[in-house]
Structure 1
Amino acid sequence: MYDTARGMIENFLYMVDNYGFIPNGGRVYYLNRSQPPFLTLMMESYMARHSNMTFLRENINLLKKEYDFWMTKRNISVEQNGRSYTLNRYNVLAGGPRPESYSKDYEMALKLAEDAKPSFYAELKSAAESGWDFSSRWFYGSTNSLLDTQTRSVIPVDLNAILCRVERMLAKFYTDLGMPAEASKFTTALNQRIEAVQAVLWEESLGTWLDYNIKETRKNRNFYPTNLTPLWASCYTDSAVVDKAVSYLESSGALSYKNGLPTSLKDTGEQWDFPNAWPPLQHMVIEGLEKTESKKAKDAAFLLAQKWVRANYEAYKKYKAMFEKYDVQGDGKPGGGGEYEVQLGFGWTNGVILQLLDLYRSRITSSAISISFSGILFTLPCLIITFWL
């Protein structure tokens, strides 16, 4: 699988070399929007298991090139308490309906004034760039629907957590390559982002981080698993925030569901909302809680891991398949909603399950049956290295 992982990374590096970023898909009409910037973190995973310094040295400039795209094309200055902070957002500038969903976008835009349509289309494409297409996360308005989408006005917690982790990893890579001047630049950028995330996105009254809408000049106080992604990215300096974040998770009600964390507590019919639960979000929250020094956080991480493995196992017993998303309600069933039928497979689902089994091993059980990482008692249809792409 090392060769497979390297091949996937090389494909993405090729895209960055040619286009400056990784497009939203492998088609020409995606060349105006990206994906969340996970390439450096893919390299991190690869290097952790196969320390190929030659491969890293040959491609470090392309990792920096993707980062530079986000810092020049998707950056924004935010004023807070008399200071200016640089953070990032999803911001596709192209108007017109999405080619992959042209008729749906066009028909929806018929409800808007002509001069409002270009902005509306850009908001939808920006939501697609985020990977969260679509969600109440981006809705600000009276209809609580896609017509109220304001993706470009939102400073997302998870995007900035991802870039925080990217900056830390680029600093390490440059250090490992014997390039201290470059490493120092990324250490400075990392420290500045940690400060910005705390100043702009942290909400002390709730004990968590929240998306911030620059147009509305307010935070989105609704629950989303991404609120906790700074734990996953270690994008904080005060360890006291950890137990506060766990208390927030408990008080939100999100832990009360049998089959994992819901993507939100709002049932809008969109796929990135209740009752769907998505594997990458489970993994980011679990990893973020587990990597802390807090027993309270570690206990919450294991509880979520146990729920998730059991939900996947119950669904697999019924359907003999792994799904891209699951329903937090009921006894092991796939999720739904959105613009297409639920997908089978599934790369990130298999990857998350295997990582959780590797992390917790004999502690994980399914009902009264212990699940073995060796695959004797829990059989996965395939092993696919996968990322948020």
Structure 2
Amino acid sequence: MQQHLSIQFPSAQQIADVRAYIKQSWKTLSRSPADILAAAYDPKLERRENSPWLVYVSAKENRLKVEQSLQQILSQAEFNKLEIRTLPANISTIQEHGLLYLPGSYVVPGGRFNEMFGWDSYFILLGLLQDQELELAQSLVNQLIYEIEHYGTILNANRTYFLTRSQPPVLTLMVLALFAHTQNKQWLQSIIPAIEKYYTFWTTEPHLHPETGLSRFFDSGEGPAPEVISDEKDDAGRTHYDRVLTYYTTYGINGLDAYYDSTSGFTELFYQGDRSMRESGFDCSHRFGLFNLEITQYLPVCLNVLLYQMEQDIAQIYQILGKDSRLWCDRATKRSQTINQLMWDEQVGLYFDYNFVTHQRSQYEFVTTFYPLWAGIASQKQTEKVVKNLAKFLAPGGLLTSTIVTGNQWDAPFGWAPLHLIAVQGLSRYHYLPQAEDIAKRFITLVVQEFEKYGAIVEKYDVVKCSANVSDEILFGYSSNEIGFGWTNGVFLELLSWLENLKS
């Protein structure tokens, strides 16, 4: 293992200061119909000055009732700044993008992410539960259920330009975490149709790969992602797409023809890969080919472990409600066997994503190798081999996302809160407690150190330099390091709780 951080683990007072910041941040990061103007604000899109903020209401909703309820809680001046529209059945006809209406309170990550994000919400929920924010936690889960019922799935986030994709499936983890506090069986029974609808979204085509029974990420939209064109620009005004093209042409990368035509520009294959990468949550990396553009050819470790966990969770929900859970247990068993068969590399001792076109594992070392440990899919021997490779990922401030520096934020030298929690819980599950404790302490120390410098908690960190100042190192996608920050808050509290339980 690498050396411990030179600075000491934070004092009780230092940790208390961060906890106080997190506690007050839930209010700052909360959105509801009462502050729908704050929710409608979108820093990711350009907007005509003085034009109203657009809010789209599901066709299943009574738009008139929604308007009346908003008029009751907003001033007339505030209401006049909104334009409420019914979401068209054919979403490809939407010319002007806007907020997707949600009837209750939810929590946004922070900064440019002023929406309810799919997988962020799980880690946010853990923080809310640690902070005894039970009412807000319940509402957050209810809004995700509402998205399934009214918009077809849990969305990347609640804007119209996200309607074509989801994010990593963590709903049932949230449901069971909340149920542990509420014990509300009636509610649990009522949301089973939505849970099963969401499971079907991930386990039917185009997400399903029929030959293996495993799933992939796939965005059903076409053309460039609107938020990338408007917002993901560097100091020279070049979009992420401009910079990717420069990279390809500068380095003479083979295969450019599939993604770029000199007369017509980027191909639909390029945009399909780029959009689908955004469903994965890992935007950007070179994990699924350069800039993740080959992602639709891959069966990812992370996604399929999450679907295994979802099958296990649904089985548990059925058992709680006295229903027959054997079908779900069988599905989980089958999936875990296929994951180990296709994704485990015995020689290297790591789990890798599987390319179903080439019938080969990727060999791209990525911290999602800890997901099978987190879910209990790995054997003790497999876990031993993964732990022997831990040094590849270990850095002074925690875990590297990958072992390669690419200029992408989901590669080295960057580390992200959710992946730290999954690794710590995975190692802990197999009783590698010293390693898990070491990682948790490194990351907590880093978060506290940077909080004391900047007075904020951020989205991601350079775990090599132990710094929140990352913008100059990120060459693709968006380079900002957003403040808030929802999932870092949640993971910080969860890791603290884990360390306290370890002591006792």
Matched, 1:138 2:276: no
Q: Distance in 2 between matches of 1:240 and 1:224?
A: 20
Matched, 1:125 2:292: no
CA change 1:11–1:352 in 2 (3 A) is same
> Residue in 2 aligned with 1:245?
386
Q: Distance in 2 between matches of 1:36 and 1:123?
A: 16
Whether the 8 Å contact between 1:229 and 1:284 is mirrored in structure 2 is yes
Q: Distance in 2 between matches of 1:24 and 1:355?
A: 24
Matched, 1:95 2:95: no
CA change 1:109–1:117 in 2 (3 A) is farther
> Residue in 2 aligned with 1:285?
423
Q: How does 1:130-169 map to 2 (within 5 A)?
A: 130-139=280-289, 145-146=290-291, 149-169=293-313
> Residue in 2 aligned with 1:350?
489
Alignment TM-score, normalising by the size of structure 2: 0.65
Q: How does 1:289-308 map to 2 (within 5 A)?
A: 289-292=427-430, 294=431, 297-308=432-443
Which is bigger in relative contact order (C-alpha 8 A, separation at least 6)?
A: 2
Output one character per residue of 1:9-30: Cα deviation in whole Å (capped at 9) or x when no partner: 1101001012331111211121
> Residue in 1 aligned with 2:209?
76
Whether the 8 Å contact between 1:109 and 1:120 is mirrored in structure 2 is no
> Residue in 1 aligned with 2:328?
186
- Pairwise CA distance, 1:126: 0.3
Whether the 8 Å contact between 2:397 and 2:446 is mirrored in structure 1 is yes
> Residue in 2 aligned with 1:63?
195
- Pairwise CA distance, 1:228: 1.5
Q: Distance in 1 between matches of 2:501 and 2:134?
A: 26
**2:427 is aligned with what amino acid?**
L
Matched, 1:20 2:155: no
Q: How does 1:255-266 map to 2 (within 5 A)?
A: 255=394, 257-266=395-404
> Residue in 1 aligned with 2:175?
43
Whether the 8 Å contact between 1:98 and 1:105 is mirrored in structure 2 is no
Q: Distance in 2 between matches of 1:72 and 1:20?
A: 14
Q: Distance in 2 between matches of 1:354 and 1:42?
A: 16
Secondary structure at the residue paired with 1:137?
A: coil
**Count of residues paired in the alignment:** 344
Matched, 1:11 2:143: yes
Alignment TM-score, normalising by the size of structure 1: 0.84
Secondary structure at the residue paired with 1:138?
A: coil
- Pairwise CA distance, 1:40: 1.1
Q: Distance in 2 between matches of 1:93 and 1:283?
A: 31
Q: Distance in 2 between matches of 1:208 and 1:254?
A: 12
- Pairwise CA distance, 1:52: 1.1
Residue among 333, 345, 355 paired with 1:203: 345
Q: Distance in 1 between matches of 2:469 and 2:150?
A: 37
Output one character per residue of 1:298-340: Cα deviation in whole Å (capped at 9) or x when no partner: 2211110111111111111111111110111224434442314
Matched, 1:311 2:446: yes
Matched, 1:232 2:382: no
Secondary structure at the residue paired with 2:444?
A: helix
**2:228 is aligned with what amino acid?**
S
- Pairwise CA distance, 1:361: 2.0
- Pairwise CA distance, 1:116: 6.5
**Gapped regions of structure 2 (runs ≥ 5):** 1-132, 231-238, 250-259
Q: Distance in 2 between matches of 1:105 and 1:359?
A: 38
Q: Distance in 2 between matches of 1:32 and 1:331?
A: 36
Whether the 8 Å contact between 1:277 and 1:335 is mirrored in structure 2 is no
CA change 1:270–1:331 in 2 (3 A) is closer
Whether the 8 Å contact between 2:393 and 2:401 is mirrored in structure 1 is no
CA change 1:261–1:342 in 2 (3 A) is same
- Pairwise CA distance, 1:281: 0.5
> Residue in 2 aligned with 1:217?
359
Whether the 8 Å contact between 2:240 and 2:478 is mirrored in structure 1 is no
Output one character per residue of 1:123-148: Cα deviation in whole Å (capped at 9) or x when no partner: 00000000001101122xxxxx43x7
**1:75 is aligned with what amino acid?**
L
Q: Distance in 1 between matches of 2:333 and 2:397?
A: 36
- Pairwise CA distance, 1:177: 0.9
Secondary structure at the residue paired with 1:93?
A: coil
Q: Distance in 2 between matches of 1:162 and 1:115?
A: 36
Whether the 8 Å contact between 1:105 and 1:121 is mirrored in structure 2 is no
Secondary structure at the residue paired with 1:326?
A: strand
Whether the 8 Å contact between 1:212 and 1:220 is mirrored in structure 2 is yes
RMSD between aligned residues? 2.1
- Pairwise CA distance, 1:190: 0.4
> Residue in 2 aligned with 1:380?
none
Secondary structure at the residue paired with 2:377?
A: coil
Output one character per residue of 1:256-305: Cα deviation in whole Å (capped at 9) or x when no partner: x100101112111111111110000011111111122x3xx222111101
CA change 1:178–1:322 in 2 (3 A) is same
Q: Distance in 1 between matches of 2:304 and 2:502?
A: 33
Whether the 8 Å contact between 2:342 and 2:361 is mirrored in structure 1 is no
**Gapped regions of structure 1 (runs ≥ 5):** 79-84, 140-144, 365-389
- Pairwise CA distance, 1:118: 0.5
Whether the 8 Å contact between 1:210 and 1:221 is mirrored in structure 2 is yes
CA change 1:187–1:276 in 2 (3 A) is same
Q: Distance in 2 between matches of 1:53 and 1:166?
A: 18
